[in-house]
Amino acid sequence: MSSGMIFGLTGLAIFTIGLFGALVMVEPLRRVLALKLCSVGGGFMLVVAAWRAPPEVADPVPHALVITGIVVMISATAVALALIRRLHTLEHDSDD
Amino acid sequence: MTDLPRIDWPTLVVFMPLMGAMLAFVCPRQAAGLGLVAVLSTAAAVAALVLEVLAQGAVVTRLGNWGAPLGIDLRADGLSTLLLAMTAGVGIFVSLGALDSYAPMRADARTRRYFWPLWLLLLTGLNGAFLSTDIFNLYVMLEVIALAAVGLTVLSGRREAVRAGLEYMYASILGALLFLMGVGFVYLELGRLDFAGLIAAEPAPALTAAVALMIAGLLLKSALFPLHFWLPGAHANATAPASALLSGLVVKVSLYIFLRLTQYMPLPDELLVTLMGALGAAAILWGGIQALRAERLKLLVAWSTVVQIGLIFVAFARAGQLGLVESWKAAALLILAHAVAKAAMFLAAGRIKDEVGHDRIRDLDRSHIRPTLAQFTFALSAISLIGLPPSLGFAGKWMLMEGAMAAGYWHWIAVTMIGTLLSVAYFSRVLAGFLRFDRLRTPVGEHQGWALADAAPLILALSALGLGLAAAPILAFMEIGYPFGTTP
Amino acid sequence: MADPLLIFDALLGVALIALAIAVLVVRDRFAMIVLFIIFGLMTALAWVRLSAPDVALAEAAIGTGLAGALMLKTLHHIRAAPAAPVPVSVGVVFANMGFCAMVFVGLAIAFMATSLEAPGLAPQVAQNIDASGVAHPVTAVLLNFRAYDTLMEVVVLLAAIIAVWMIERGIEQAPARHLGEIYRGFARLALPAIVVIGTYLLWVGAYAPGGAFQGGAALAAVGLLLLLSGLYRPQPAHRPIARLGFVLGIAVFASVALLVASGGRLPFEYPPAHAKTLILLIEGVVTISIAVTLAALFHGREPEAIPVSETRA
């Protein structure tokens, strides 16, 4: 057992929990969070791939990739949330 | 390396639409003009790249001069360049169609202003994906494409479009994240992300997991049955030029990446190839039935996209594991055929809807206005989608059946035949409506004449027919620089 | 297993999994978002344990902080909607649960069978870092070795803000005060401090954890505070400046990449003598664009003249 192993399995678990949520959940916000969980799981896998047992230093390339992934994910989240707000407004207005 | 500084076309092919997108966004009033210039100059750069590839084989750009795997390489071989050319060609005519569709009398100023930056960003992402040789870079490109495509889906701002766009967004993000997890497994095993590293790799459990994840993500993004649930709504509810881009080009990216990956990372099992063919067959049947039942023209066209994607996967699986080295060519030909014909068809359907005022199939023959040219265009593109000679769709289907016959896989031939019959059936629902005049008592009004918007889809539909005659040179071009890594 | 840090790791892992499940099952949507924010912060902690401080910083600032703020804003907007529109049948839930469990087992087997000691690209980065112009490896990868990816990532941000402006046109913005007034005095005190932190993060990125994205996120927090406290209200007249702010980073980045190519070099191949200057320039403008874009993503709607019909409400 090492930190890499522990967090690698954690990341996989988080990814599959997110996958489950994305498949099953119906509430818009919760689906977005489920996808966010998937992305954190993917991030874990790359961070673990970069990890070396100390005192070795970690591989910087996957770190850069995960930072890119985080920025990409906030962009996608913002667009999804904007769609959710818009859809709510449209449906709300039609009810009146 | 001492001669004149070479103009680096692959980089320009990606950067030109990007610059155009920024200009069109910053100067919204000139968006249409700037956008059209950007699309045309991108097409010119692609043409230059085609000539370069013809002259000297695959073109590789080592960005930053680091070279893969530390840096990122762009690589334009026959297949990439062919798809770039397809994107440029379809892009020009859809842009021309958009000039009319979003003209001041038809759409509000905001729709017009936002179409161009989004479409140019989409073009950036498409070109970048076709040139990429790095799987993480592909992930980023997929996200550029996804966000721009969702923006285009909801351009009209109507409730159905926004609902479909949100569904599309969820599917798109999930597909990209599955792909990202696959990228993580690749790095875990190989410590590099470039295509060359994938080819050299020994089989390993982590790579099997990676292939499974990436393929699952790509199948979701290319809407293979039963993962097609998001497609009909999104493609049917977008405005016509956006639908043409979504159906003609966006879906093709994930199919292209799929073709690439299976070239470099052999599928672990014959069973998987057959499974994909079976899903394709199911898509052909289910999509065909839904297209027969569709009440609206654009929905029918969207379901026909589901059918065609199924057909492409059948083409892929037609000769089993051993045939994979060859079957990508039939699939690529069908991708090309579908892109051109479907873009034409969606533009024509949009024109019909604009002129008639609705797109209910049942009432098309009751209309007082006959948009003759748009109807003719629709029929022409249906010929290619059904797969009648001499169209490109015919060439693709022929290659598919030839390969299946050679391998003795008669079931794929049967599936293709059934698919052809179904497509004849659902397209004739529409075409019959165009040809019947007896339902109308009053005199039929004339079409409003030659519009720019009619010329664009008509040229596309004609090229879908005519390109079938050029299938042999296209196939030869496709093979330039294949297999990977043998750059002359 | 005697190592107490490993026990800490295992506990952290279990807590993360529990929080992830809790995010999906907790009934109250506000609690769901709060749990998600806690989950994000603990993720950052785990990544620090995996010696990835840059990533942890980015996740805490952008992936958790900003995403959480966006979620809360959206929740406020849609609070009238019922929490669970359509119940899902138990059969579907169990079928998916079984499917996901199979996926987990398959992936876990593949993961356990893989050695965590693949060479990776670290040696190549170490070998070339002197030629890259920056001393911190992650920054070198982001702005030199894989600069193309980074450029495209800023393009994703641009696509997002264009899409968001397009989507939210003509929507009546919920008045800011319902979101919770942030005490203006606090804002006035906090703002200079955050600006200093953001600039510091950007600067320090050249040789220590930090850089454009973390710095940009900190500066975006300034924008959030300004928006929430009402010290700044976006006006239609500010749109051209905002648009320029969004594209500035990409425009400079892409131009530099192409201009260096004109001198017989390849795109993105910075001349070694000027690499440090060029990278600092790019980082600076990209930070500004990231900050402006992230703040605008939080604000959402494009500022536009309010039609007469809407002013009544």
Structure tokens at B67: 């070279």
The more confidently predicted of residues C264 and B451 is C264
| Residues of the domain holding B360 | 269-488
Q: Tens of pLDDT along A62-83?
A: 999 999 999 999 999 999 999 9
B290 located within any domain: yes
Residue B104 lies in a domain: no
Asked if B339 contacts B310 with a C-beta cutoff of 8 angstroms, the reply is: no
CATH number at residue A81: 1.10.287.3510
pLDDT at A96 over 60: no
Please classify residue B159 by burial: count the beta carbons closer than 10 Å to its beta carbon, then call 0-12 exposed, 13-18 middle and 19+ buried: middle
Asked whether B168 and B150 are in contact (CB, 8 A), the reply is yes
SS3 B410: helix
Nearest to B143 by CA among C24, A39, C57, C62: A39
Could you give the CA distance from residue C43 to residue C52 in angstroms, rounded to a whole number?
A: 11
pLDDT attached to residue C309:
41
The 10 Å CB-count burial string (b at 16+, else e) for B431-453 is bebbeeeeeeeeeeeebeeebeb
How far apart CA B358 and CA B353 sit, in angstroms, is 5
For chain B, how many structural domains are there in total?
1
Mean pLDDT of B386-400: 91
At B305 the pLDDT is 95
Name which of C130, C239, C268, C289 to mutate to probe chain B: the one with the most chain B Cβ atoms within 10 A of its Cβ.
C268
Q: What are phi and psi of B118, to 5 degrees?
A: -65, -45
Subunit contact A5:C116, Cβ cutoff 8 A: yes
Strand B59-62 with B73-76, pairing: antiparallel
Percent of chain B with pLDDT over 90: 66
Work out how many CB contacts closer than 8 A connect A with C.
264
Q: What is the mean pLDDT of chain B?
A: 89
Q: What is the pLDDT of residue C54?
A: 87
How far apart CA B413 and CA B432 sit, in angstroms, is: 28
Query: Residue C180: is it exposed, middle or buried by C-beta count within 10 angstroms (0-12/13-18/19+)?
Result: exposed
Query: Which are the contacts of C141, defined by CB distance < 8 A and separation ≥ 6?
Result: A60, A61, A63, A64, C125
Measured distance between the N- and C-terminal CA atoms of chain A, rounded to whole angstroms: 60
Q: What is the dihedral of CA C40, C41, C45, C51, to 10 degrees?
A: 60
3-state DSSP call for residue B367?
A: coil
- Cβ contacts of A80 on chain C, cutoff 8 Å: none
- Smallest Cβ–Cβ distance between C166 and the set B21, B66, B114 belongs to B114
Domain membership of residue A8 as a residue range? 3-95
Candidate from A19, A29, A84 with C-beta closest to C100: A19
pLDDT tens-digit readout, B305-342: 999 999 999 988 887 777 777 788 889 999 999 999 99
> In terms of CA atoms, which chain B residue is nearest residue C115?
B189
Confidence of residue B160 (pLDDT cuts 50, 70, 90): very high
ipTM: 0.96
CB distance B354 to B380 below 8 Å: no
Residue B239 is predicted with a pLDDT of 92
How far, in Å, CA of C199 to CA of C201, rounded?
Answer: 5
Of B314, B275, B279, nearest to B416 by C-alpha is B314
Selection from B381, B405, B410, B384 nearest residue B395 by Cα: B384
Of A26, A53, A81, the CB nearest to C70: A81
B215 falls within a domain? no
Choose the weakest-confidence range: A13-27, A34-48, C222-236.
C222-236
pLDDT tens per residue across span B173-224: 999 999 999 999 999 999 999 998 898 888 889 999 999 999 999 999 999 9
Contact B66 C162 (CB under 8 A): no
How many domains, chain A?
1
Q: CA nearest B128: which of B141, B117, B140, B145?
A: B141
Residue from C14, C49, C50 whose CB has the most chain A CBs within 10 Å, to mutate: C50
The Cα–Cα gap between B461 and B376 comes to 9
Query: Averaged over B238-257, what is the pLDDT?
Result: 95
Residue B3 in domain:
no
What pLDDT does B263 receive?
Answer: 81
C-alpha torsion B435→B439→B444→B449, nearest 10 = -30
On chain C, the residues whose CB falls within 8 A of the CB of B121 are 155, 158-159, 162
Of A18, A27, A61, the CB nearest to C84: A27
Touching subunits of A (3+ CB pairs, under 8 Å) are B, C
Low-confidence ranges of chain C (pLDDT < 50): 1, 174-179, 307-313
